[in-house]
Structure 1
Amino acid sequence: MGVPVFAGEVSLAEVVARHALESPGQTALLFEGERLSYGDLARRIVAATRLLAQDWHVRSGDRVAWLGASHPGELVLLFALARLGAVLVPLNYRLAPGEWDRLLADCKPVCVVHDITWAEAAKALAQRNSLASHCVDELMAAPPASDAPTDGKADSPVLLVSTSGTTGGPKLAVHTQANLLANMAIAAASQELSPHDRVLTVLPLFHVGGLCIQTLPALYAGAEVVLHAKFDPGETLGAIAGLRPTLTLQVPATMKALVEHPRWASTDLSSLRAVWAGSSLIPTALVEAFHARGVPLCNVYGATETGPFSIALGPTHARTHVGSCGWPAQGVEAKLGEGGEVLLRAPNIVARYWPDVPALDADGWFATGDLAVQAADGSYTIVGRAKELIISGGENIHPAEIELVLAQHPAVAECAAFGVPDERWGEAVAVAIVAKVPCTEGALRLHLEGQLARFKIPRKWYFVDALPKTALGKVQRAALARRFA
């Protein structure tokens, strides 16, 4: 299965340069009222490349960390590093300083670039790790340059992204320029992106979801990106009404915040030809809330290592396949391995973790750790994580199937099912509930009866103030199991 190709770029920096030649006046980025055309963006990338090489002494193969909210300068930095053949290491600003230190000790960047908001934390981080620190404003104000190094190649590493560490310590996935280009082509084709689109980006660029599902693919297609520093439901609804984007990417937590916002019902959503969700599992009530407003809620499945554009449910099937992730995107191969684990093979999937730990098997397949079922029409539905499977009395129980039904109860804000040791059954199904309003175990049991087999109904119920989560928002069921074992 071939990868869709719009142009013949072999390095990331060529993407913006192509649009700067073909449509220099087309808006590339809109951020806090400032517009950058593709011509402007290309010039800033060349100027930043020269600054990085001459003043900051960044060389091919070097790593440069970023600490800050989403900012056009982070994208300029990425493309400039791509020209140099150097590597961007975006840091999750939600992590603790000690976690940043461990990541930097692993990949040893030569400097840290930061925005104004995170200046103090970045300078302290740089001092602790004996690194230089630079403000992004300096990068964006680099003097014009007529030329700059172009040492980046297709196989040059360009992005190191931390995995969530759900089942162990985080690892750094090594994305090459070829990986990102393939993902941009795959994602752009799947979402039918064109220069006529305006994409609203509100998810953080430190993660491949915010960066690679729509933002980079939109720039690849010559579309306009409206970039927000951080997600705010009121500002997002205001941007949809005022700027009239055609696409945006959300996750269940932001979808919930939008649907529950006072202006949700009155906001004009008619400009949106689709909303895409970057999540393997989306509560049905949230999907239906968007469909009720006439907006197809599409879904993309993948992982930090897989681009992440792997399996996609587009607008055509959004209403008929609620709960499904859809079909493999063009250029992506998928199959179910032992126990129903999703295996993927594609040119946008990383080959290794930093520094040189293989991520693929001998035949090039990536084991996702996610379990799925495949329907007769070929579509995939994720049912849980391989290491989170609950085996009770010989029955295999996926936490997700319990959680999706429980989440439909009006008193449930969040929930997580997990297994705890049990002398009789081996494991017993337990569930932790974060309630919106006071509710009882009996009421929730009654809600599940008739919708789930009896052996799937939790035997142990715990009402908690919050669920333990990774820095990227994934529920840590193992932590719950340890707490309530």
Structure 2
Amino acid sequence: MVPEARIPLGDLTRVDATPPTLAVTPEHDRSQFLARVAAWRQAFAGHSGRNHALHLDDSFEFAAALFGGWLAGKVLWLPGDTLPATLDRLRSEVDGWAGDLPGALKAPEVPADPTTAGALDPDACRLVLFTSGSTGEPGAIGKTLRQLDHEVGALEAQFGATMGDALVQGTVSHQHIYGLLFRVLWPLSARRRFAPRRLAYNEELTVLGPAPLVLVASPAHLKRLPENQDWRSLAAGLRAVFSSGGPLPADAAHDVRRLWGQAAIEVFGSTETGGIAWRRSGGAAPPWLPLPGVSWRLADGLLELQSPHLAEAGWFRTQDRAIAATGGGFELRGRADRIVKLEERRISLSAIERRLQASPLLDEARVLALPGHRILVAVAAVPSAEGRTRLDQAGRAGLASMLRDWLAGHAEAIALPRRWRFVDALPVDAQGKTSERRLADLFRPHLPEPQWHERAPGHARLALEVTADLAAFEGHFPQAAVLPGVALIDWAVRLGRDAFGVRGGMQRMEAVKFQHLVRPGARLQVELDWQPATAQLGFRFTSGQGVHASGRLRFAPPEDEA
């Protein structure tokens, strides 16, 4: 496909930009797309507010709502998910909700007339995306249509010939910059069809092909490709596979090439900077090469950029450490802003992380600093097959000791991790990214690990070790660590659902009493009784001090469930 064939994003709302029969998705053509854009324009125009949060799972309807909102002069805010905490943070920023959010604006199903729509002003059309929150709370990043169009142009110039007319499929959400560009805006601009539904499971990938396709994926998905799947159909049609959101491990890159017959194309960038560089690897990691239009240089060991994808025209300093590579391009050397001070010494979390990732006992490792009276270095890690064997033999403390020995000579004694979590997989969001907040949650469990003694149909007994790192202790009774009573009610509900499969919402509490405080270090004995006929859960928390809490919880009976 020649670059001239690309349609500028601002012209996509013009009726005469392309033939009305041009396919947009396997089920929709341009005329249907423009009709939905007009319907969304009509819906947005009926609301006086300028800022709207937009969330839709269907990428076709999402694209129509996006362009319809821009035609109506709206600024669209794209939350990464629909969690209550995410929406709460947005309430003070937006004037309304659109899409599949609670109480949101929806476009009428009656076809609207698209013929009155003209081109969009690329500088006036704006949206707001959110960073993954890799160093804390997600940050809001504004983008203009002109910035997005420049980036789409760079992607088509670099990769368009490889993709041809292939159908674009994806495992990542369009609510984030990577999915938005690769799964929606780029295909629309390049006259390339895209699938409106995001793929979530490997089984869905095996049925793709042999028709030509492109897969937009994340490292979190690509590093867990099962060997026992039949990948022949996918490999026969795959023209390119993209990966972004973090570095693709060498063994995962090797598996992609071996199983799918394609070396993954990695794209490096961020919500703030847009796309920066790319590389293609089948195992070994080659240097990063800048995307068309992107200039780079090194200053004080940090990567600096000049790019039409940025909001400003000058040089932008990132917090990525890099070195120039022999033969062109650059190599990344971790983040400069991952420096913490421990007893007046500067400690690089990235350096500790790199050393751990080189251990044969681990497949993945992330290092973070846990705040508190004294900062603690913590590690969340996925053991390798060898590491899993050591974990089974020596336990958590034994494996942690082996890894501390591995760090000896590479990290000061004060920097050796004090907290460890060994998990089957690192927590990821819909974009396949592992944020600092999700990692920190591993060290702030909501419920102690249950030690079950009895699990009968109507009765259960277990023990709970109450540790100081539980999330329930945060923000309550700052003068002394005391477990709030509401946490015990929450634990009773969670344990009841686990032990007896309790369904439905809790309707009321009966005869609930709190008699002794629960402090860190307590070992609680828990008794649960379940009466399915009345949907009643009885609970009792005791220790050597006596009874801490007891009562009954009533749930919605099965016939009342929605």
Q: Normalising by the residue count of structure 2, what TM-score does the alignment of the two structures yield?
A: 0.65
Q: Give per-residue Cα distances to partners, 1:329-348, cap 9 Å, x unaligned.
A: 0011122233x322222112
Deviation at 1:287, TM superposition (A): 0.3
Query: In the TM superposition, what is the alpha-carbon distance from 1:154 to its structure 2 partner?
Result: 1.8
Residues 272 and 146 (structure 1), Cα distance of their counterparts in 2 relative to 1, 3 Å cut: closer
| Structural mapping, 1:136-175, within 5 Å | 138-139=107-108, 141-148=109-116, 150=118, 152-175=120-143
In the alignment, structure 1 residue 93 sits paired with structure 2 residue 81: yes
**Hey, what does 2:70 align to over in structure 1?**
82
Q: Which amino acid is the alignment partner of residue 422 of structure 2?
A: V
Contact kept in structure 1, 2:209 and 2:234, CA below 8 Å: yes
Equivalent residue, structure 1, for 2:552: none
Percent identity for Structure 1 against Structure 2: 21
Structure 2 matches for 1:286-305, cutoff 5 A?
286-293=252-259, 294-305=261-272
- 1:205 paired with 2:201, answer no
Corresponding residue to 2:187 among 201, 207, 218: 218
Q: Compared with structure 1, are the counterparts of its residues 456 and 270 closer, same or farther at alpha carbon in structure 2 (3 Å cutoff)?
A: farther
**Structure-1 separation of matches of 2:6 and 2:58:** 29
Q: How does 1:366-381 map to 2 (within 5 A)?
A: 366-381=316-331
- Counterpart pick for 2:299 among 337, 342, 347: 337
**Corresponding residue SS for 2:320:** strand
- Which deviates more from structure 2 when the two are superposed, residues 161-170 or residues 147-156? 147-156
Residue 37 of structure 1, CA deviation: 1.4
Displacement after TM superposition at 1:255 (Å): 1.1
Of 372, 380, 385, the match for 1:432: 380
CA distance in 2, matches of 1:391, 1:298: 37
2:368–2:436 Cα contact (<8 Å) kept: no
**Aligned pairs, how many?**
424
Residue 134 of structure 1 corresponds to 105
The reply to whether residue 183 of structure 1 matches residue 147 of structure 2 is: no
* SS of corresponding position for 1:342: strand
Mean alpha-carbon deviation: is it higher for 196-205 or for 463-472? Answer: 463-472
Q: Answer whether contact 2:154 2:292 (CA < 8 A) is retained.
A: yes
SS of the aligned residue for 1:302 comes to: strand
Please say if residues 390 and 399 of structure 2, whose CA atoms lie closer than 8 Å, have aligned partners that are also in contact: yes
User: Shift of the alpha carbon at 1:210?
Assistant: 0.8
Structure 1 CA distance for aligned equivalents of residues 356 and 12 of structure 2: 42
Tell me which of 6, 12, 18 is aligned to 2:4.
Answer: 6
Describe the shift of the 1:467–1:256 C-alpha distance in structure 2 as closer, same or farther (beyond 3 A). Answer: closer
Give distance in 2, aligned partners of 1:382 and 1:445. 30
> Quick check: 1:29–1:36 contact (8 Å CA) kept in 2?
yes
Q: Within 1, Cα distance between the matches of 2:214 and 2:145?
A: 25
The residue identity in structure 2 corresponding to 1:281 is: P
Aligned pairs for 1:292-441 within 5 A? 292-293=258-259, 294-306=261-273, 308-314=274-280, 318-319=281-282, 322-324=284-286, 326-338=288-300, 340-349=301-310, 351=311, 364-389=314-339, 398-406=351-359, 409=360, 412=362, 414-418=364-368, 431-435=379-383, 437-440=388-391
- Kindly provide the amino acid, as one letter, of the partner of residue 237 in structure 2: S
**Root-mean-square deviation (Å):** 3.8
**Is 1:278–2:244 an aligned residue pair?**
yes
The answer as to whether partners of 1:195 and 1:224 remain within 8 angstroms in 2 is no
**CA distance in 1 between partners of 2:74 and 2:364 (Å):** 41
- 1:186 is displaced (CA, Å) by 0.9
Amino acid at match of 2:11: E
**Contact kept in structure 1, 2:297 and 2:304, CA below 8 Å:** yes
Contact 1:24 1:38 in 2 (8 A): yes
Partner of 1:476: 436
In structure 2, how many angstroms separate the alpha carbons of the residues matched to 1:41 and 1:58? 25
> Deviations for 1:29-74, whole angstroms, at most 9, x for unmatched residues?
13xxxx1112322333234323432xx3367xx2221233243111
2:59 is the counterpart of 1:71: yes
Asked if residue 27 in structure 1 is aligned to residue 14 in structure 2, the reply is: no
* 3-state secondary structure, aligned to 1:113: strand
Whether the aligned pair in 1 keeps the contact of 2:13 and 2:117 (CA below 8 Å) is no
**Bigger mean CA deviation after superposition, 266-275 or 247-256:** 266-275
Report deviation, 1:97.
Answer: 1.1
Q: 1:156 to 1:439 in 2, by over 3 A?
A: farther
Alignment CA distance shift 1:471-1:263 (3 Å): closer
User: Does the CA contact (< 8 Å) of 1:370 and 1:382 recur in 2?
Assistant: yes
| Larger Rg, first or second structure (1 or 2) | 2
Residue 298 of structure 1 aligns to a residue in which SS?
Answer: strand
Q: Distance in 2 between matches of 1:265 and 1:50?
A: 45
**Cα displacement string for residues 328-384 of structure 1 (whole angstroms, at most 9, x for unaligned residues):** 10011122233x3222221122x2xxxxxxxx5xx6233332222321222223232
Distance 2:6 2:314 in 1: 24
TM-score by length of 1: 0.74
1:456 deviation in Å? Answer: 5.4
> Is the CA contact 1:190–1:329 (under 8 Å) kept in the aligned structure 2?
yes
Structure 2 gaps of 5+ residues are 392-396, 445-467, 470-562
Query: 20-29 or 452-461: which moved more?
Result: 452-461
Structure with bigger RCO (C-alpha 8 Å, 6+ apart): 1
Q: Does 1:15 align with 2:9?
A: no
